[in-house]
Amino acid sequence: MRVRSWVRVRRPAVAVMAVVSLLLGVVAVDGAAPAGAASTGTYTFLYSGDFTGATMAYTQAEVLGLKVAIKQINAKGGIQGKKVVLETQNDQNNPTTAVSLLEQKLTSGQKPDAMYPGGSSEVTQALLPILTRDKILGIDATSSSTLNNPSKYPYYFGDSELSAQTVPPYVVQAKAKGYKKVGMIYGNDVSGQASMQGFQTAFQKAGITFVSASFPDTAVDVTPQLEQLKAQNPDMVIFSGYGVPTLYILKGRAQISWDAPFYADLLSGAFPIVQNLPASSLHNVFIETTKPFLAGNPASTGNPVLNTFVSDAKSLGGQQVLNNIGAGVTAVGYNALILINYAAKQAKSTNGATLAKTLESLKKANAPVPWLSYGSNSQFGNFYYTSKNHYPNVFPSGFIFVGPGTYNSNGLFVPGTGS
């Protein structure tokens, strides 16, 4: 008797459980960790960067660029009809933190549609295996050539030039000046070592002797390293450092009264040097900048996309970022989403794997191209990636050496007098 009662009571519950299980199974089958799980009508873009540490100023610029892109894309209906939503995670420029945060998101079913995987090569390198495993499209501006490996990282693309691509103009400059020996002082980290190797290869190929000295990121003074380099009598010196070491290099140079021409690499050149050093320390110091973001240059003044970008950035409260960090760094965030949108229109899809394939065969855009950085008519480079190259193609003609300066209210670089 009891068994029959049990069956009568349990049968409806079993039926309900069966229906629920069936429904759950349908959801599970429709893609594990569905992208933008909370909102099927949105395109979720995740930015991983340092929001509270020493590099947060660059994060602010990149996020501003993303917000400008989101504003423009959403005003025209979003990416393939999906409103773009920005999510962020504070990885504090720490690879372990970045991996941990992303894994937490993925295991809780919050897989992004695409992401900006870190503000430094170290962080990006740590995240790429996850992007590859989960087929998440990633675009960022880190510059180590080890990341340009489409066979290993098929879903990752760079939207700023590799450090090696910025090197040829230095070789051209050295040859034009008749220099026989070039020195380099650099920070002994992944970015500094990559930069040094790029320069070393290029100068040795050009038959110019190359010498170098490195310092740890924790150094509070680099005078001994400068002395080491000075003793080898280079005709020109390239310097590479991130943040305050850039200032230590130039301060130490002034202390030992070394007036050889000093050229900042891409990393040091992005740092606000002029605000932190007296003019007397900047004699014969040059930075490499790009014409599309140089004030008064036709490449910047004649670009309507840049004008709209600047205007939108200011409307989003980005004036201080433009003044302090410049439009160039802000543009790398902008370019990431603009490129995704362009690829999505071509592919008529938002699927990460499909977009990655599409990015390798983008149709040529008419002038003015929708992205920034290489001229309105791609006269200084382009983002036409291939299956063998996931970084921009950059032309040496886009670079120019000027004295350290400041940014104007539009985030364009105004050179000082380095010579």
Partner 1 sequence: MTTLWSGLADGALYALVGVGYNIVLLASGVFNFANAQLIMLGTYLAYFAAVTLKLPLAPTVLIGAAAVALVGVVEERLAIRPLMGRRDSHATLITSVGVAVAIDGIVLRIWGSQPKAIPAPLSTKPLNLLGGTIEPTSLLLIVLVIVVGVGLHILSKKTMIGLGSLASAEDREAAMARGVNVRALAIGAFALAGLIAGAFGVVVGSGTYANPGLGDNLALFGFVAIAIGGSGSQIGSLIGGFATGIIYAEVSRYTNADWPQIVVFALFLLILLTRPRGLFGGAVERQV
Kindly list the residues in this chain that would bind partner 1 in the complex (CB under 8 A): 52-57, 188, 213-216, 218-221, 223-225, 227-228, 243-244, 247, 251, 254-257, 272, 275-278, 280, 324
Beta strands (DSSP E) in 248-343 are 262-264, 285-290
Q: Based on CB atoms, which residue is closest to partner 1, 136 or 219?
A: 219
CB 171 within 8 A of CB 288: no
- Pair 140, 48: CB distance under 8 Å: no
Sign of CA dihedral 83, 89, 90, 95: negative
Q: Tell the smallest beta-carbon distance from residue 80 to partner 1 (Å).
A: 37
What are the backbone angles phi and psi of residue 152, rounded to the nearest 5°? -90, -35
Enter the tokens of residue 148.
């340009």
* Residue number, 222 or 338, with CB nearest to partner 1: 222
- Identity of the residue, 277 or 365, whose beta carbon is nearer to partner 1 in the bound complex: 277
Cross-sheet strand order for the sheet of 285-290: 209-215, 181-187, 236-240, 262-264, 285-290, 399-407, 413-416
Read off the tokens for 5: 């009662």
E strand map for 321-412 = 381-382, 393-394, 399-407
Q: How far is the CB of 216 from partner 1 (least distance, A)?
A: 5
Residue 316 Cα distances to 44, 238, 408, angstroms: 20, 37, 17
The least CB distance from residue 132 to partner 1, in Å, is: 31
Q: How far is the CB of 288 from partner 1 (least distance, A)?
A: 21
Q: Report the residue number, 212 or 341, with the smaller CB distance to partner 1.
A: 212
Name the residue nearer to partner 1 (CB basis): 80 or 209: 209
Closer residue to partner 1, CB minimum distance, 223 or 297: 223
Pick the closest to residue 114 from 407, 350, 389 (CA basis): 350
Query: Considering beta carbons, is residue 247 or 313 the nearer one to partner 1?
Result: 247
Residue 198 C-beta: closest distance to partner 1, Å: 18
Integer Cα distance of 229 and 360 in angstroms: 43
Q: Minimum distance between the CB of residue 383 and partner 1, rounded to whole angstroms?
A: 29
In the complex, minimum distance from the CB of residue 52 to partner 1, in angstroms, rounded to a whole number? 6
